[in-house]
Structures are given as structure tokens and as C-alpha cells.
Structure 1
């Protein structure tokens, strides 16, 4: 045998048509741990398991007899230690010296199988990593959705808390703090635009007598009912608030003095005409309208509205007084 073929980087086995090994190179012997006499003149199938013999008969012989060659047949052969060694076999039929020979080249695929197993394992790991990533993304999306839901709930709670912090518990009207904030905003707008606005201070007449005569529970009912009347007869955009005790305030944007008087008198009559369970209840109202002479100070506006309210009380109650009317009559009450 040619030296180069004898030590080629792959196994070489030449067998007869009957399957007897006629020649073998040293590379194959070294790979399998055999001596030449262990293989040559032996039947090639002695190196195979029963399953491989069946495959050899059902695939190798039919195809090489039909096509004259076989390519990439995966076959396992037993080495000298009885271990199964995988090979890729390429075979070709030829004639030499009037005889038919089957020349086979065998490339050991142990490394390849290891690589394939590593690739399969890597693919499984990649698939697992992608699955875990998808799971993590799904969980992250769930967490984000939960965070958004909690944020929405928190915003709703904050809105409710803000509303509660701005609301009088007994009457359901806005409270004094909310009113003062709106009054500051209205004064700022007035200083920028000069658009007038008016302020009402309203007080329930003889409220102490109501409590003393009918009890505080009925007094609370009166406060609630007066608040309802004020809210019902207020115009859209008007601010109605409980200022403290039996005292209420209203803030009317874009309202001149003449308009404020008409609106106040309508509210006064609505309270007086209400169907009270006990003695009739009335209110007194003091009005102040922002003018050019007004200092940029909510305290001044409140003080002057309070003076007008005091005048309504002094003049018989159940009436409306505008601060400007007091100025026409002389110095207002302090």
C-alpha cells in the first residue's frame, strides 16, 4: 500500500464483494487498536453489532451495487476493547485485476458527535434562556402593570384625600382653607385684569337660639340645609364654603356690585322660604366687591365684607348689605 494512503488522516478499508477485508491502512488500525492480522482476511461485519450488520445489508450493499458508491453512511464499529466507535463511511465500487472491490474511507466522528452534543446542549440552554427571558419580560410587564395600577389607585386616593382636606365634614361644602386659596387666586387675577369679583359673608340669624331651643342635633341639620340652599342657588363657577360655626362665604367671579346684590337677595329669600321643621330660619349677608381702591390684600376684602354683614345684623337681620352702601351712608361699622 502506498505510504501516504497507509498513514492518511482517515481510515481506509478495502473489502471484496463478499465483505472480506482485503486491505486496511495503518491509520484505521491505530484508531481501532487492532493489528493487521486481526482484520485482514476477516469478514468486515465481524467489527459490527447486529444492528449495524442489518443496516449494512439494507443500505450499504443495495446502494453501492445500484449506484456504485455510498456517501456519508453513519456506522459504528467495535474497537479492540469492544467499544463502539462511530464513523462516517464513504464507499466506492471498482474493478481491479478482473475482480470487484469495495473501497471504503472511514472518518471517525467522535469529536463531531461531542460537538453536536455540545451544540444541542447550547441550543437547549439558549432556548431555556430565551424562555426565561420571555418569562422575565412577562413578569416585568405584570409588575409594570401592577405599578401603574397602584399609581392610579394612589392618585385616586390622593384626589380623595385632597377633596377631604378641602371639604367641610358636616355640610359637604368647601372649607375655609380652600376658600382662602381661591380668594388669593381671584385677587391675583383681579390685579392682572381688573375684572371685578364679589365676596359674600353669610350668617345664620339667631343660631345660638336655635341650638339652645331645639338642640345641637337640629342645629347641625340647619347648617346642612342652609349649605344645601346656598349650593343649589349658587351660579356655576361660584365658590361656596363654610367659614366657621354658622358663618358661610361665597366667592363670585366676574360679578359687579349690582349683580352681587341681586344674587345675594335671591339666596336670602331662598333660605327664608325653605320648609324648616321648626321656627323659620333666616340669614344676613354682607357683600364686598373688588374695586380699584381695594388694597391687594384678602384680609381687607374679608374685613369690609364682615362690616357689611354686621350692618345687616344691626339693621334687623334677614337682609343684604353691600359695603359700598355703608360708605354712602357714612363711616362703616368697625
Structure 2
């Protein structure tokens, strides 16, 4: 890091789009009372209270995803002794060496007590005005009602923005970013409890041929309808997402290999029996069930290999990564 940035008169943090801290300057460590090792690779929300986590989710992430930057976000962070330190945060999303990161500048709010005193003084003046004139009271009540309405509208808008930032526009399913966050959370739960879960990848057979023969609009209708089918057959705790192109993914909590295979077979059969604009449609599926030592990358890799085996085996079929292992052992 450049020495001027290291000792700049403000804090600096660099985080991933999942909120993992990848870098920080000396100034921020000094202000907060942390060592570099204490923060590196930790989630930024680990140094936030629940209230500030809510602010971060409802304002920071939607604006970063929609606009690529956040300006003048007031937020408090927990320092090394557990105290709350108020900051004004500015953030900007950028690509560094092919990786998306978010650089954040944090200016400490050293005059917070002065601001609070100003607010108390303003409140006292308003209260005096209430007693002075009934007409002023009525006017201020109207203003208060309007502020509450605007706050409610803002909360509703923020909720919509959060939903949009995690939703695939075409199918209405969750998007890849949301899926990756849920997969990370499910892996963490697995390591803590040992509770099994399975990952299912579904790919539309000969989708390029559909686009070439019927056109991209029909192809989009196929993706929309398959998304609806997946959503209809998913449990509330499942995560159904569009992974990209004609590939869809399902995270199936509390589900071991045999149950996951049954779910995949049902989805495959429902797809085959459904009525499509193309006349007929089939999908191939690959499954992997989480095992000790798995990461998101290894789990996806095993499910993808099983999907490839389904395609190679003639399509319109389901394969579990365990089937590949058994087949290899049988061959030996």
C-alpha cells in the first residue's frame, strides 16, 4: 500500500462484494485499536452492531450494486475494546486485477457531541414553538406525519432495492450472487452441526438449438417457465437460483443423497411432461451432497461433473457425484 494512503488522515478499508475485509490502512487500525491480523479476512459486519448491520444491508449494498458507489453513510463500528466509534463512510466499487472489490474511506465523527447538543437545542426550540402557537403545532404535526410517510416509503424502497439486487430479472429466481452467499452460509452451518445438505445443478438440454430454431424470445419464455416450475417445487427453506445462461441451481438443506436424487428426478419428469412452446423440453441434472472438507468450489465442481456425466449419458437424466465414484470403483 502507498505510504501516503497507509498514514492518511482517515481510515481506509477494502472489502469484497460479500463483505470480507481484504485490506486496511494503519490509520484505521490505530483509530479502532485492532491489529491487521485481527481484521484481515473477517466480515465487516463482525465489527458492527445489529442495528448498523441493518443499515449496511438496507442502504450500502443496494447502492453499491445499483450505482457502484455510496456517499456519506453514517455508521458506527465497534473498536477493539467494544466501544462504538461513529464514522462517515464513502464507498466505491471497482475491478482490481480482474476481481471486484469495494474501497471504503471512513472519516471519524469527532464532533458528534456537538451535533447532539445542536439537536437537543433545536428540539427545545420546537417544543417552545408548540406552546407558543396552536397553529405552529398543527403545522409541525403535519410535517411530522409527512416525515414518517417518507421514512416508510424509503424503507419500502430499500426493501425493493435489496430484493432487486438478489433477484434474476428474467426468471424471478434468486441470482448467482445470492446463491453464492447462501451456499457459504449452508457450508458454515454444515461445519457447525454436521447437518447434511445437497446441491443440484440443472441444465436445459439443447438450449442453443431452441434459440436457433424458435428465436431468443421463445428461449426466454422457456427460462421463465422453468424458473416458475423450480419455484413451485421448492420448499421455503430451499434456495432456487439461476446460475447463468440455461443453468439453474438448487440448495437443498437437510437433504442427503437419496432424497436429493428423488427431488431431481421429480423435477426432470415434471419438465418432460410439461407443455412447452417448443413442443418438448428435457433437462439434465447433477447432484453433490456436502461432505467433510468440502468448500463451495469443490461442491460445485462435483455437481458439475455429475451434470456432465448426465449429458454424456444421453441427457434427460439425473446423476449424483456418488454414482461417478461407484462407477469408477466398479471399473477398477
Indicate whether the TM-score tops 0.5: yes
Q: Secondary structure at the match of 1:228?
A: helix
Report the equivalent of 1:231. Answer: 231
**Cα displacement (A) at 1:238:** 1.2
**Cα displacement (A) at 1:130:** 7.0
Report the equivalent of 2:173. Answer: 173
Runs of 4 or more consecutive aligned structure 1 residues displaced over 2 Å after TM superposition? 128-145
Larger of the two Rg values belongs to structure: 1
- Gap regions ≥5 residues in structure 1: 1-127
- Gap regions ≥5 residues in structure 2: 1-127
Report the equivalent of 1:21. Answer: none
Q: Secondary structure at the match of 2:266?
A: helix
Structure 2 length-normalised TM:
0.58
Report the equivalent of 1:216. Answer: 216
Distance verdict in 2 for CA 1:327–1:129, change over 3 Å: closer
State whether structure 2 residue 286 is matched by structure 1 residue 286: yes
Report the equivalent of 2:311. Answer: 313
Q: Separation in 2 of the partners of 1:131 and 1:169?
A: 53
Out of 274, 297, 300, the position equivalent to 2:298 is: 300
Q: Separation in 1 of the partners of 2:130 and 2:287?
A: 73
Q: Separation in 1 of the partners of 2:302 and 2:254?
A: 19
Deviates more, 1:276-285 or 1:206-215: 276-285
**Cα displacement (A) at 1:324:** 1.2
Q: Say what the alpha-carbon RMSD is for the aligned residues.
A: 1.8
Q: Separation in 2 of the partners of 1:181 and 1:144?
A: 39
Report the equivalent of 2:185. Answer: 185
**Cα displacement (A) at 1:165:** 1.1
Report the equivalent of 1:255. Answer: 255
**Cα displacement (A) at 1:131:** 5.9
Q: Secondary structure at the match of 1:181?
A: helix
* Aligned residue runs from structure 1 range 1-334, under 5 A: 132-292=132-292, 294-295=293-294, 297-330=295-328
Structure 1 length-normalised TM:
0.58
Q: Separation in 2 of the partners of 1:244 and 1:129?
A: 60
Q: Separation in 1 of the partners of 2:169 and 2:282?
A: 22
Q: Is the 8 A contact 2:288 2:322 kept in 1?
A: yes
Q: Secondary structure at the match of 1:234?
A: coil
Report the equivalent of 1:26. Answer: none
Q: Separation in 1 of the partners of 2:266 and 2:186?
A: 23
1:207-240 deviations in whole A, cap 9, x for unaligned? 0000111111111111111111111122232111
Q: Is the 8 A contact 2:190 2:196 kept in 1?
A: yes
Q: Separation in 2 of the partners of 1:129 and 1:202?
A: 66
**Cα displacement (A) at 1:138:** 3.3
Q: Secondary structure at the match of 1:147?
A: helix
Q: Separation in 2 of the partners of 1:150 and 1:330?
A: 63
Q: Secondary structure at the match of 1:330?
A: helix
Distance verdict in 2 for CA 1:301–1:132, change over 3 Å: same
